[in-house]
Amino acid sequence: MTSFFYFYTMETKVLNTIDEMLSHWEIIQQLYPEITLEKYQSFLKEMIPHNYQQLAVFEHNICIGLTGFWTGIKLWSGKYIEIDNFIVHENHRRKGIGKIMTDYIANLAEQLNCNVIVLDAYTGNFKAHRFYYNQGYAPRGFHFVKTLNKEGLT
């Protein structure tokens, strides 16, 4: 008996517009189940003018991975790229999607002459910590937060 396997590649696409980003609303809800579509849209309207983009990974034209990113300059690092809201669809984890996204961002950072790639991960998210360590990231310090408006958080 002969077995046939269908091999396919995942596709990546950089999203630059609000409409493109809103079309993948359902994956954002996996990370932020309480965020409303209106709030998400209003945040995007403010973020996009500040170099915010998203990288989406598709399998059979379905978005299964998404991360935001933007570039900036800080005194301690010079030019940097920041990964923001890194999401792999819960039904598609352990397929290498996260690595596709971090590799894409690393290549982009090199093209843009960035000195570092930065990101935040919640202190209790040990799976994310392990993943980022395995991708060559290491904690450099603490990201301190003082909440001023609890209702404004997502």
Amino acid 2: pLDDT? 46
Average pLDDT over residues 128-142: 91
**pLDDT one-digit tens code per residue, 103-122:** 999 999 999 999 999 999 98
Beta bridge partner(s), residue 62: 59
Amino acid 8: pLDDT? 58
Q: Measure CA 134 to chain center.
A: 17
Helices (H) and strands (E) in the chain, counts: 5, 5
What gap in Å lies between CA 40 and CA 69, rounded to an integer? 16
What gap in Å lies between CA 95 and CA 153, rounded to an integer? 31
Q: How many CB atoms lie within 10 A of CB 114?
A: 21
**Residue whose tokens read 């991975």:** 65
**pLDDT one-digit tens code per residue, 6-64:** 445 789 999 999 999 999 999 999 999 999 999 999 999 999 999 999 999 999 899 99
Average pLDDT over residues 127-136: 92
Residue 154 tokens read as 């997502």
Beta bridge partner(s), residue 11: 58
pTM above 0.75, yes or no: yes
